[in-house]
Amino acid sequence: MVNIPWTTVETSTNNYYNSIADGYNELHGQEQRRKAKLVLSKLEQSDIDGFLDVGGGTGYATEIFPGKRVLLEPSEKLRAKAKGAAIEGVAERLPFPDKSFSLVVCLTAIHHFKDPKKALSEMKRVCQRQVVVSLLKKAQNYRKLDSVIRKILKNCEILDDLHDMIYIWNR
């Protein structure tokens, strides 16, 4: 059993997502799936032979992606809704060796992270080719996070979507 650093997840955030798990897909599923479709339209699908979904929630959004998915999610109730491999963990400490996944995706989750810089460098570390991050425009810490992401995912392509900014970084 991996020793999860729970101090990096706010208990209130975890409690919140556990409490809405039953209705999560109904509440947010279509919107998150819409973002995932947009992301997918920008990627070379044949290059995706396995991907990591960080803070993947129920995993509904990225079910449409090709390749084997590993979903990493701290909320046990959201994880229980996911199809396929769903592991307990946090973005700040990814329990995988370097370059484990051709693609790493993180949709609308980074505004919750206690240490976004660490999380972004972890995502870069475990990816072989691409990291895709989306940031909720109405997040309280939006401006700060936007600049942190642009700095760490240097030269990324940026899509200005309806509710999120989307950053696509190529190694």
Ligand X SMILES: C[S@@+](CC[C@H](N)C(=O)[O-])C[C@H]1O[C@@H](n2cnc3c(N)ncnc32)[C@H](O)[C@@H]1O
Binding site for ligand X (CB under 6 A): 8-9, 13, 17, 28, 32, 54-57, 61, 73-75, 78, 90-92, 107-109, 112-113
Q: Which CB, 56 or 156, lies closer to ligand X?
A: 56
Min dist. Cβ of residue 98 to ligand X (A) = 19
Residue 41 one-letter amino acid: S
Q: How far is the CB of 145 from ligand X (least distance, A)?
A: 13
Tokens of 148: 């942190």
CA-based torsion, 119, 60, 134, 156: positive or negative: positive
57 or 104: whose CB is closer to ligand X? 57
CA geometry: angle 18, 77, 115, nearest 5 deg: 65
Least distance in angstroms from the C-beta of 115 to ligand X: 8
Shortest Å, Cβ 112 to ligand X? 4
Q: Which is nearer to ligand X, 46 or 55 (CB)?
A: 55
Shortest spacing between CB 103 and ligand X, in angstroms: 14
Q: Which is nearer to ligand X, 118 or 150 (CB)?
A: 118
The whole-angstrom separation of Cα 24 and Cα 58 is 8
- Hey, what's the torsion of the CAs at 11, 147, 170, 79, to 10 degrees? 10
Q: Residue 39: phi, psi to the nearest 5? A: -60, -50
Q: How far apart are CA 116 and CA 119, in angstroms?
A: 5
What single DSSP character describes residue 99? T
Identity of the residue, 71 or 153, whose beta carbon is nearer to ligand X in the bound complex: 71
